Amino acid sequence: MLIDAFLVFDQGTYSATTGMTGAAQFASGATTTSTNTLDMINARDMGDAPSGPGELSVNFQITAAYVGGTSVNFQLQGSTDNTTWTTYSETGAVPVASLGVGALLSLPLPPVNPDAGAIPRYYRTAYVNVGANTAGSVIAWLGARTYSQYYKPGIVVNN
């Protein structure tokens, strides 16, 4: 899987001793937002046509299990001015028990109806924590909708 660094909302880092770590996105009953905001330079509809499946999605890879809370709602938000944000797509409440290391969630990019408001220039992710989450890290990026050929955490392939 290849990930373009300019399309990363929350970046991971790798260490030979600790492995892959992501951005801490947990809070006690609060919403956190992505480390990076994607600026598309020009406002554009990144979603697909309403008649078929899209090619792009926002992907979330859990690198440290969520602990202590009830659930997390993963969201894609857009803005015309990088100040006021609108939620365009969300997973709904995902139980913390489902957010273990290696879990992969994907949000398809929906089409934006220009009749409903301006098309966004900026995109970010938001994490709505329900309950007292005390841990949880994630890598989030804009990329292909499915990754049917990826390895589970801990697999090493020698070249």
> In this predicted model, what pLDDT tens digit does every residue of 28-69 receive, in sequence order?
889 999 999 989 887 766 666 454 445 788 999 999 999 999
Strands (E), the chain: 8-10, 13-15, 19-21, 23-24, 31-33, 38-39, 56-79, 86-95, 104-108, 122-144
Whole-model pTM: value is 0.81
Give residue 40's pLDDT. Answer: 86
Residue whose C-alpha is closest to residue 29's, from 131, 149, 100 = 131
Give residue 47's pLDDT. Answer: 67
Residue whose C-alpha is closest to residue 61's, from 26, 11, 126 = 11
Whether the CB-CB separation of 129 and 69 falls below 8 Å is answered with yes
Q: What is the CATH number of domain 7-41+55-110+123-142?
A: 2.60.120.1110
